[in-house]
């Protein structure tokens, strides 16, 4: 055929079209693989963050389990830590009113922040929101005034709020905020401020981790005072003064209010104990912070004296079911710290003793060491050792064998699962070993509990989700999380729910960080991944001695090299994070030789730097890094006057408590060397914040 005929033109067109289709399919396949790889990296990054977060919660539960053990069995140490367990010294409401009176606190003329009038009005709270936007700080007088009014209001609210929505009025439900004021302000910007026409439910965990927890509380409490029927607050597991010691809220308050911080913390402790536990919408939707268990009964929850359960994070009450089942009939029972029996006033009457008293310090020092030896000999928490020792000098008749908690007390602690539990895909209800407290419950439990209470949906928070929300259990359970960029910029979106009379949830997602909104997907994943790997390298570094010992188990000929499979297995054995180590190998191990890892060289290449201090026992430094958060928590517990300073003797007792908790020996000389190396001005006291900052690890790879 001659050139240019219809047949040749048609063939050429078909050939070009075929090439275009093939090219499009190749590009599509490449793009899908590219997105899949990014998604795999994102999920792996997510697992790193979440595993490290939950490992920290496990550490906290173990630490307070140890404190509870000391409280019940070890009299001298009780003088150090009893104040975190006992009831508030001021019991009568009239005494509380006098203790927290704000009237003698003057507002100076130099104060430039907002001036509030009471009773609170919408205009007054709006001014407060604007002031916090401008980074202004509210005067302590007004803070105490808001908190006092909030306490009076919360005392008359029920454990479970019941609210109604109709065709003309939707309700907005928000999850964890964790001190991230930008997220709350963005929600108000997009959705409107709370009002009688714009009701809200905030589902707990307002505080900790972020830097603006108090500002969030003051805004929410302000709107609660103005619209008590239209703004509803549920308690979260972080509305707990014990948790606040570890996760930053206590430090935030004391940093912002040096003079009146102690009073503010005391009143917040009281307020947290009075926060409602759940909200029910139109008798069909249950909103609760953590979740449920197979024993959840809302009728029981509604009758609990919620303000008496002081410590929902207390492992002795969180895990009361497993404790009760594990103990044999003949063994002594540990008193639940939520059991306010007749013996409690004697515990509360224990005087606070200064560690400056040398005789008490000597008694405490020797007793701690004796207890350490006893615990090492028994290899763990043996509840029966006092029986073997008969009239041990550490025993106390006021703390003799506790009676079986009665049914009412067990019902009181049962609500802890509402704050700590997580859903799981499998049927059943098991102890939440990942967090160390609460339970995991399955779809069958959801169906049974919702069916028994004639409910159709459970809305909960407590878990960070990448998209800000997630359904599970056949869409009968919905998780909502409102703190965007929770782990790192770009790690997750925040979300809130709008719900109308049809009770169908509608989601609004957002990113509070402008930086994140400007990033591409690849940039966002890369940013978050680098942050997660930094955190993971720090975990590897602080466990380096344990890791080397574990690697040597697979290196009988001392070659310094092990296979990749053994490297992954040993690393998981030590860190127990449940991570896919072989997948992470390319990001953590820069070089291998025929599939073998030079583990000693790899440890050196972790690019972590540490402070150079003259300490006789370097193992104490590794213990410091490994237990950084636990040590800070103990410091803040021992610092009973919240001054931010502890004496050298208190510093020594802190380390003795930690070494006893860890079942390891740390010499007095090593502790003394460490104390003197950090006492920069040689005044005999240590600034807690300076000490913790001095021992913060730095990842050099982030600055290269």
To the nearest whole number, what is the mean pLDDT of the chain?
Answer: 78
pLDDT score of 689 more than 60? yes
Same structural domain for residues 135 and 188? yes
Nearest to 313 by CA among 341, 286, 273, 343: 273
Give the SS3 label for residue 160. strand
Active site residues: 238
Alpha carbons 225 and 91: distance in angstroms, whole number: 24
pLDDT of residue 586: 86
Alpha carbons 456 and 447: distance in angstroms, whole number: 9
Q: Is the residue at 465 inside a domain?
A: yes
Same structural domain for residues 195 and 278? yes
Q: Is the residue at 326 inside a domain?
A: no
pLDDT of residue 351: 35
CA distances in angstroms from 513 to 135, 217, 490, 529, listed in the order given = 17, 21, 8, 17
Report whether 287 contacts 459 (CB < 8 A). yes
Res. 341 pLDDT band, cuts 50 70 90: very low
Q: Is the residue at 536 inside a domain?
A: yes
pLDDT of residue 389: 38
Q: 86 or 222: whose pLDDT is higher? A: 222
Same structural domain for residues 528 and 509? no
Structural domain containing residue 540: 522-606
- Reported as a single tens digit per residue, the pLDDT across 594-613 is 889 999 888 888 755 555 55
Q: Is the residue at 214 inside a domain?
A: yes
- Reported as a single tens digit per residue, the pLDDT across 64-98 is 677 666 666 555 555 666 666 554 444 566 677 77
Res. 570 pLDDT band, cuts 50 70 90: very high
Same structural domain for residues 43 and 111? no
CA angle 125, 126, 127 (to 5 degrees): 90
Res. 374 pLDDT band, cuts 50 70 90: very low
Alpha carbons 580 and 43: distance in angstroms, whole number: 11
Q: Is the residue at 357 inside a domain?
A: no
pLDDT score of 447 more than 50? yes
CA distances in angstroms from 506 to 285, 501, 503, listed in the order given = 14, 12, 9
For the chain, the domain total comes to 4
Same structural domain for residues 42 and 161? no
Count other C-beta atoms under 10 Å from residue 198's C-beta: 17
Q: Is the residue at 379 inside a domain?
A: no
Same structural domain for residues 553 and 424? no
Same structural domain for residues 602 and 629? no
Same structural domain for residues 558 and 688? no
Report whether 564 contacts 595 (CB < 8 A). yes
Predicted structure pTM score: 0.78
Alpha carbons 19 and 26: distance in angstroms, whole number: 10
pLDDT of residue 632: 77
List the alpha helices (DSSP H) in 429-501. 443-452
Last residue of a domain, which of 473, 496, 516?
516
CATH of the domain at 583: 1.10.238.10
Q: 594 or 325: whose pLDDT is higher? A: 594
Return the structure tokens found at 10. 């048609």
pLDDT of residue 94: 67
Last residue of a domain, which of 37, 54, 80?
80
Nearest to 263 by CA among 16, 40, 88: 88
Same structural domain for residues 457 and 559? no
Same structural domain for residues 512 and 528? no
- Reported as a single tens digit per residue, the pLDDT across 261-316 is 989 998 999 999 999 999 999 999 999 999 999 999 999 999 888 887 645 444 43
CATH of the domain at 98: 3.60.21.10
Percent of the chain whose predicted confidence (pLDDT) is above 70: 73
Same structural domain for residues 112 and 244? yes
Alpha carbons 622 and 311: distance in angstroms, whole number: 31
Last residue of a domain, which of 80, 103, 123?
80
Res. 200 pLDDT band, cuts 50 70 90: very high
Q: Is the residue at 678 inside a domain?
A: yes
Q: Which residues contact 31 (CB under 8 A, 6 or more apart)?
A: none
Same structural domain for residues 140 and 207? yes
Query: What mean pLDDT do residues 33-42 have?
Result: 86
Query: Hey, which of 274-278, 646-650, 682-686 has the most confident mean pLDDT?
Result: 274-278
pLDDT score of 387 more than 50? no
Query: What mean pLDDT do residues 495-501 have?
Result: 97
Which range (261-270, 331-340, 505-514) has the least confidence?
Answer: 331-340
Give the SS3 label for residue 700. helix
């Amino acid at each position: 055929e001659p050139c240019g005929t219809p047949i040749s033109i048609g063939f050429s067109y078909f050939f070009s079209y075929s090439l275009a289709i093939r090219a499009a399919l190749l590009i599509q396949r490449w793009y899908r693989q590219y997105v899949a790889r990014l998604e795999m990296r994102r999920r792996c990054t997510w697992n790193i963050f979440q595993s490290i977060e939950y490992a920290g919660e496990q550490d906290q539960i173990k630490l307070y389990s140890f404190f509870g053990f000391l409280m019940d069995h070890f009299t001298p140490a009780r003088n150090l830590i009893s104040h975190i367990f006992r009831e508030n010294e001021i019991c009568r409401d009239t005494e509380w009113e006098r203790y927290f009176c704000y009237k003698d606190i003057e507002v100076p003329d130099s104060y430039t922040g907002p001036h509030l009038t009471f009773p609170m009005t919408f205009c007054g709270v709006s001014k407060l929101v604007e002031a916090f936007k401008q980074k202004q700080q509210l005067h302590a007088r007004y803070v105490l005034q808001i908190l006092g009014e909030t306490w009076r209001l919360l005392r008359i609210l029920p454990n479970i709020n019941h609210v109604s929505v109709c065709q003309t009025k939707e309700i907005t439900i928000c999850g964890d905020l964790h001190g991230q004021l930008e997220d709350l302000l963005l929600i108000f910007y997009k959705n409107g401020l709370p009002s009688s026409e714009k009701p809200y439910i905030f589902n707990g965990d307002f505080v900790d981790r972020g830097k603006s927890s108090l500002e969030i509380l003051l805004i929410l409490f302000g709107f609660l005072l103005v619209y008590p029927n239209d703004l509803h607050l549920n308690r979260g597991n972080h509305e707990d003064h014990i948790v606040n010691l570890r996760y930053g809220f206590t430090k935030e308050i004391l940093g912002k209010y040096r003079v009146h911080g102690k009073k503010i913390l005391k009143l917040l402790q009281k307020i947290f104990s009075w926060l409602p536990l759940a909200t029910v919408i139109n008798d069909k939707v249950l909103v609760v912070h953590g979740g449920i268990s197979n024993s959840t009964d809302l009728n029981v929850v509604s009758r609990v004296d919620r303000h008496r359960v002081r410590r929902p994070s207390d492992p002795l009450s969180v895990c009361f079911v497993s404790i009760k089942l594990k103990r044999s009939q003949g063994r002594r029972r540990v008193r639940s710290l939520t059991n306010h029996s007749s013996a409690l006033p004697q515990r509360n009457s224990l005087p606070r003793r200064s560690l400056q008293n040398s005789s008490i310090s000597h008694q405490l020092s020797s007793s701690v060491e004796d207890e350490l030896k006893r615990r090492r000999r028994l290899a763990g928490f043996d509840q029966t050792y006092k029986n073997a020792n008969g009239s041990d000098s550490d025993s106390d008749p006021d703390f003799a064998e506790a009676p079986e908690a009665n049914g009412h007390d067990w019902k009181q602690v049962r609500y802890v699962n509402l704050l700590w539990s997580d859903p799981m895909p499998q049927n059943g209800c098991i102890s939440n070993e990942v967090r160390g407290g609460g339970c995991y419950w399955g779809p069958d439990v959801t169906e049974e509990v919702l069916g028994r209470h004639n409910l159709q949906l459970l809305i909960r928070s407590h878990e960070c989700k990448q998209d800000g929300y997630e359904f599970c259990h056949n869409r009968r359970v919905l998780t909502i999380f409102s703190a965007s960029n929770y782990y790192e910029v770009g790690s997750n979106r925040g979300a809130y729910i709008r719900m109308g009379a049809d009770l169908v949830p509608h989601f609004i997602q957002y990113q509070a960080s402008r930086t994140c909104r400007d990033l591409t997907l690849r940039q966002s994943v890369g940013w978050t991944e680098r942050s997660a790997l930094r955190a993971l390298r720090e975990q590897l570094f602080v466990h380096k001695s344990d890791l080397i010992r574990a690697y040597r188990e697979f290196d009988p000929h001392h070659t310094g090299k092990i296979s990749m499979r053994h490297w992954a297995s040993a690393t998981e054995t030590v860190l127990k994070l449940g991570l896919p180590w072989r997948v992470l190998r390319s990001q953590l191990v820069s070089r291998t030789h025929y599939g073998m890892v030079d583990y000693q060289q790899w440890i050196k290449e972790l690019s972590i730097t540490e402070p150079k201090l003259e300490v006789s026992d370097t193992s104490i430094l590794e213990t410091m890094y490994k237990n950084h958060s636990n040590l800070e928590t103990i410091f803040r517990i021992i610092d009973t006057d919240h001054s931010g300073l502890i004496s050298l003797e208190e510093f020594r007792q802190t380390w003795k408590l930690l070494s006893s908790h860890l079942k390891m020996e740390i010499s007095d000389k090593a502790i003394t060397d460490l104390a003197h190396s950090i006492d920069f001005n040689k005044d005999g006291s240590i600034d807690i914040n300076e000490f913790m900052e001095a021992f913060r690890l730095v990842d050099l790879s982030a600055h290269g």
